[in-house]
Structure 1
Amino acid sequence: MTELSDEAGNALRSALSAEHAAVWVYGLASAFASESRVRSAIGDAMEQHRRLRDTAERVIRDAQQTPPAAQPAYDVGESVSDQKAAIGLLIKVESDCETGWRSVLENTEDAALRGTALDGLTTAAVRATRWRLTVGTQPAAKPFPGQP
């Protein structure tokens, strides 16, 4: 059985909720991807988000806690009608994942969970930077990923 402090458990549940949203938003974005390189990057990102989602769910269950469920849909707050708008949403969802995983990193001493959190934080930051470069947003990289 995995031990999760209240702080680590709350942070991990928040990161998991961000991962659920990311998987959903990437599915939405795939409908608007007009370039093959963008479709390929979306597919790779969805695979990574699913892996992190599954890991977070497993850790929460191993701690005898109930992981938050994915929502049937998410309010994206804006209309998506083309690839550029979809990528804008992907940048936002990656930023949410950065924040979630950074919180896990800051709230646990468990080495394996810290490794997962660091993986989640860095891969989200790299993807967000790549998406910003794709649409020409400057600066492309944030100096402190995951900082609220």
Structure 2
Amino acid sequence: MTELSDAEGTALRSALSAEHAALWVYGLASAYVGENRVRSAIDDAQEQHRRLRDTAEKVIRGAGQIPPSAQPAYDVGERVSDQDSAIGLLIKAEGDCQVGWRSVLENTDDPGLRGTALDGLTTSATRATRWRLTVGQQPAAQAFPGQA
């Protein structure tokens, strides 16, 4: 892609900002997890979020625009004190990523960008469902992921 419409650019920058925040939140959450399976899931999620972040940055730069930078810290709005509260925060971060990627999906016709957005939306929705199952939240899955 060599050009982004205003709607595509706005949506992609929003998705990228959500990816930056998610990576920060995953780093915070890793300090509160004790179970190996949870730590492994966090490592996998971070790898996927980095991949999506890097792809979004590449597309934005390829369109001659400047991608938003990650913030040094993010206001999580709640206290994190144990593994369950950390996972609750991860669920919120995944929800923000779903909203961002769904917006990209709804605002572009570019096949490559649509593929990236669909990947971002489905992997975030799947992870959020797994995190809800981990802490016993019901319903575990949302009917329409990313719908604000």
TM-score by length of 2: 0.99
Residues 24-50 of structure 1, C-alpha deviation per residue, up to 9 Å, x if partnerless? Answer: 000000000110000000000000000
Give the CA deviation at 1:2: 1.4
Secondary structure of the equivalent of 2:87? helix
CA–CA separation in structure 2 for the residues paired with 1:77 and 1:106: 28
Quote the residue 1:141 is aligned against. 141
Q: Which runs of 5+ in 2 are unaligned?
A: none
Q: Which aligned runs of 4 or more in structure 1 are off by greater than 6 angstroms?
A: none
Quote the residue 2:59 is aligned against. 59
Q: Which runs of 5+ in 1 are unaligned?
A: none
Residues 86-129 of structure 1, C-alpha deviation per residue, up to 9 Å, x if partnerless? Answer: 00000000000000000000000000000000000000000000
Quote the residue 1:12 is aligned against. 12
Secondary structure of the equivalent of 2:78? coil
Quote the residue 1:116 is aligned against. 116
Quote the residue 1:75 is aligned against. 75
Number of residue pairs the alignment of both structures matches: 148
CA–CA separation in structure 2 for the residues paired with 1:147 and 1:79: 26
Secondary structure of the equivalent of 2:69? coil
CA–CA separation in structure 2 for the residues paired with 1:74 and 1:28: 10
Residues 42-95 of structure 1, C-alpha deviation per residue, up to 9 Å, x if partnerless? Answer: 000000000000000000000000100000000001110100000000000000
CA–CA separation in structure 2 for the residues paired with 1:116 and 1:124: 12
Letter in 2 for 1:137: Q
CA–CA separation in structure 2 for the residues paired with 1:127 and 1:79: 22
CA-atom RMSD, angstroms? 0.6
Quote the residue 2:36 is aligned against. 36
Give the CA deviation at 1:141: 0.1
Q: Percent identity among equivalent residues?
A: 79
Give the CA deviation at 1:3: 1.1
